Amino acid sequence: MKPDMGVGDLPPANRDAKTVHLASAGGTIGKMSSTVIDAAGLQQLVSTLLDRGYRVVGPTLSDNAIVLAELRSADDLPKGWGVDVGPGHYRLRRRDDDALFGHSAGPQSWKQFLHPPRQRLWSSDGAEPEEVSPYAFIGVRACDLSAIAMLNGVLGTGTHPDEGFVGRLRQIFVVAVNCTEPGGLCFCASMGTGPAVGPGYDLALTERIDGDGRRYVVDVGSDEGAAVLAELPHREADQDEIDSARSDVSEAANRMGRQMPSGDLRELLVESRESPHWEEVASRCLTCGNCTMVCPTCFCTSVEDVTDLTGEHAERWMNWASCYEFDFTFVHEGSVRQSGPSRYRHWLTHKLGTWHDQFGSTGCVGCGRCIAWCPTGIDVTEEMNTLARLADERSREEQIEETDDG
Amino acid sequence: MTPVPYRVRSRVTENRDSATLCLEPVGEPLPTPQPGEFMMLYAFGIGEVAISVSGDPTTTDGTVTHTIRTVGAVSRALHDAQPGTVIGMRGPLGTNWGLADAAGRDLVIVAGGVGLAPLRPVVLGVLADRDRYGRVALIAGARSRDDFLFSEELQGWALGGSIEVHVTVDVPVQGWPGEVGFVTEPLRRLPLRPDRSTAFLCGPEPMMRNAAHELLRKGLAASDIRVSLERNMQCGIGWCGHCQLGPLLLCRDGPVVGYDIASPLLRVKEL
């Protein structure tokens, strides 16, 4: 089972406001003796998890996208498919190899399983929520593993933990995947969340493809991970395999498609509260909320109390919500954040700034989903870099003024 | 997120849009709320809203008292609940006024409109243990004479003489004995010892900001001014994200917040 996962498990870079480029990329590989499984071993990994009663969820090919869905076998994984992503752009592409994990983040994340879009919280009939079998997640990226820890920081570790979330999290089996090929919108290295997977996995794979075919260097993160691995055909990894896997992962940190500005992002956002730049972003923002839906850490919900037609049976539901909704901040005199600029500012500031104040970590993992799925291609890294440049200009002007005054 | 049933034991109509409900537990009671804290009140099948407690903090019979102003469907249903009606309750939630920390100090209590409701437990708590505090002044404002909550009680407090009471209205009627204008007027004239005073403010945000400004001008430290803030609250327990005010989750870090923290946040439009 999962080791307890909290914000404390995030890489240290993640725990303070500073953006630190991950120096220890590849850090999880080779700590203990690594193991290698081949394509047949991966087949058996999926069937072993199914046999153990897990609902096995992983990437599949569906609707011209990489979609997370229940797997019947490893054959459902998207063999030989990659993705091309850009601002407001996501296209599948054929790879020239048969990699199963050669694609970056898709439109969904694991939050839809751990923090489902619609949940019944209470029923006047006293009906208990239905028990679902535990999930095994296959192909969890470093960014998304951090996202799960961040969701736990919000929903699982406060004074009033969400028992449903905690129950589902406690039971998951995580097969993580180290990234060797970052996507065009990835910036996990900026956020200190990847490309190497941090703690919280049961097994971590690094996919290797060469003349000898497809195989996986496996790291074990838990006792259950070790027990599952023992059931698969495997062999000990040789040092060359470990070294090359490690260097491929750490190399990936240098090939990120995007980068956040260096410096304290929380402080930058506090300084930028009244920046004219919010108006400029808002002229491109549709306040559609897509970024909040695809974000693996956006957790906001609305609570809905309903009755049936007789009025005798009532239920309470919790549904995903977005801070871009006009009435998200409604109090009796009207909504607090009515303008587009204020709603964009809130989302970005919460994600990269005030999340630290509220939950002790950043709320952004650098997966790039919000950039790909923004219908107008707003790029958080570009907006943050612009805010940093404007703040820089402001402080330089102030310095000049001071010098003049002096 | 499961509401605990409470029954309306008694109901007092306060004015044209507000009523005070005394609620008794149907089964096991919830923990006793502290002045300033709030409960999530559920009108069966209609919805749930966050309401600060307005009852006597020295009560030990397990009842919880709330004063509810009709502003929407849920608050209307709660406001209209007659004795015997069962409503749902969760809590107590949020931060409190920190009345105990103010022992030995002078208190300035400033309330606007329905903002007097969360401050009533402060006044009652002070009166029950009067010697613990120095000078205590209550300034209460309302739109008109008929809009005051707890009118008779207010009169009693004023006549009782153990605390200083100033009332002010926006719109006077013939025979109104109090003042006309904003709460900041009597506040401006109030002599106070800034280093020995703690202020509790509740009302519309512009009122609280103006009152806080006046208190700062008189030399109070911003951290000695406490304000009770209102935002959209859906869960009350830090899950839903609706009640954020900058770095604060008001259901968890509020509703009562030090003005040293609140001031820079309230200054920014639409934060």
- A308 → chain B, closest CA residue: B45
Going by C-alpha positions, the residue among A175, A152, A154 that lies closest to residue A68 is A175
**Residue A32 pLDDT class (50, 70, 90 cuts):** low
Token pair listed for B224: 């000695």
DSSP run (H or E) holding A306 = strand A301-307
Q: What confidence tier does A272 reach under pLDDT thresholds 50, 70, 90?
A: very high
What DSSP element (H or E) covers A65?
Answer: strand A65-70
Residue A3 — pLDDT band, cuts 50, 70, 90? Answer: very low
CB-facing half-sphere around the CA of A42: CA atoms within 13 A: 29
What's the sign of the alpha-carbon dihedral A122, A128, A133, A134?
A: positive
Looking up tokens 């707003």 gives A378
Distance from CA of A280 to the nearest CA of B (A): 17
Q: pLDDT category, A33, cuts 50, 70, 90?
A: low
How far is A157 from A136, CA to CA, in rounded Å? 22
Q: Does the pLDDT at position A25 exceed 50?
A: no
Q: What is the pLDDT of residue B255?
A: 98
Mean pLDDT for B197-207 is 97
Min distance B46 CA to chain A CA atoms (Å): 6
From CA B119, how far away is CA A104, in angstroms rounded? 54
Nearest-by-Cβ selection for A329 from B47, B48, B231: B231
Q: Taking a C-beta distance cutoff of 8 angstroms, is the pair A34, A218 a contact?
A: yes
Q: Which of B26, B30, B242, B261 to mutate to test the interface with A (most CBs of A within 10 A)?
A: B242
Distance CA A221, CA A371 (A): 32
Distance from C-alpha of A283 to C-alpha of B99, rounded to nearest angstrom? 47
Contact call for residues B64 and B9 (beta carbons, < 8 A): no
Mean of the pLDDT values across residues B159-170?
95
Contact A305 B247 (CB under 8 A): no
* CA-wise closest residue to B89 among B67, B69, B64: B64
Q: Contact B269/A342, CB-based, under 8 Å?
A: yes
State residue A20's pLDDT score: 28
d(CA A23, CA A253): 9
Contact residues, chain B, for A122 at CB < 8 Å: 1-3
Contact list in B for residue A329 (CB cut-off 8 A) is 231-232, 242
Closest A-chain CA to B46: A305
Chain A residues whose C-beta is within 8 A of a chain B C-beta are 121-122, 124, 154-155, 158-160, 162, 273-274, 299-303, 305-307, 311, 314, 316, 318, 321, 323, 328-332, 336-339, 341-342, 346, 349-350, 353-354, 357-358
Percent of chain A with pLDDT over 90: 83
Q: Which domains does chain B have, with CATH numbers?
A: 4-93 (2.40.30.10), 99-228 (3.40.50.80)
Token pair recorded at residue B75: 């608050």
Mean per-residue pLDDT, A249-268: 95
> Considering CB atoms only, which of B42, B75, B239 is closest to A162?
B239
Which chain A residue lies closest to B270 (C-alpha atoms)?
A: A337
Of A273, A316, A328, the CB nearest to B242: A328
For A304, the closest chain B residue by CA position comes to B47
For residue A406, what pLDDT band results from cuts at 50, 70 and 90? Answer: low
pLDDT of residue B126: 97
Nearest to B240 among A159, A303, A342 (CB): A303
Contact at 8 Å (CB) between A348 and A364?
Answer: no
Q: Model confidence over A363-372: pLDDT tens digits?
A: 999 999 999 9
pLDDT tens, position by position, B25-77:
999 999 999 999 999 999 999 999 999 999 999 999 999 999 999 999 999 99
Is pLDDT of A7 > 80?
Answer: no
Q: Which two tokens stand for residue B39?
A: 């409960």
Angle, helix B116-128 to helix B151-160, in steps of 10 degrees: 40
Please, what is the end-to-end C-alpha distance for chain B in angstroms? 28
- Which residue in the set B238, B242, B246 is minimally distant from A354, CB to CB? B246
Q: Which of A154, A314, A342 minimises the CB distance to B45?
A: A314
A112-168 tens-digit pLDDT: 999 999 999 999 988 877 777 899 999 999 999 999 999 999 999 999 999 999 999
For chain A, the first-to-last Cα distance in angstroms comes to 65
User: Which pLDDT band holds residue B157 (cuts at 50, 70, 90)?
Assistant: very high
Strand residues in B15-163 grouped as ranges (E)? 18-25, 38-43, 47-52, 64-69, 86-93, 106-112, 136-144
pTM tops 0.95:
no
Q: A97 pLDDT exceeds 70? A: yes
Residue A291: helix, strand or coil by DSSP?
A: helix
Q: CB count, 10 Å around CB of A240?
A: 8
pLDDT, average across residues A375-397: 96
Interface with A, mutate which of B232, B233, B263 (most A CBs under 10 A): B232
- A80 contact partners, CB below 8 Å, separation of at least 6: A94, A95, A97, A98, A99, A102
| Residue A346 CB-density burial (10 A; 0-12 exposed, 13-18 middle, 19+ buried) | buried
State the average pLDDT over residues B147-164.
Answer: 96
Contact call for B239 and A154, based on CB within 8 A: yes
Domains of chain A, residue spans: 7-255, 265-405
User: Cα separation of B16 and B14, whole Å?
Assistant: 7
Residue with tokens 């009663």: A53
Give the A:B interface size as CB pairs under 8 Å. 101
Residue B221, Cβ neighbours under 10 Å: how many? 15
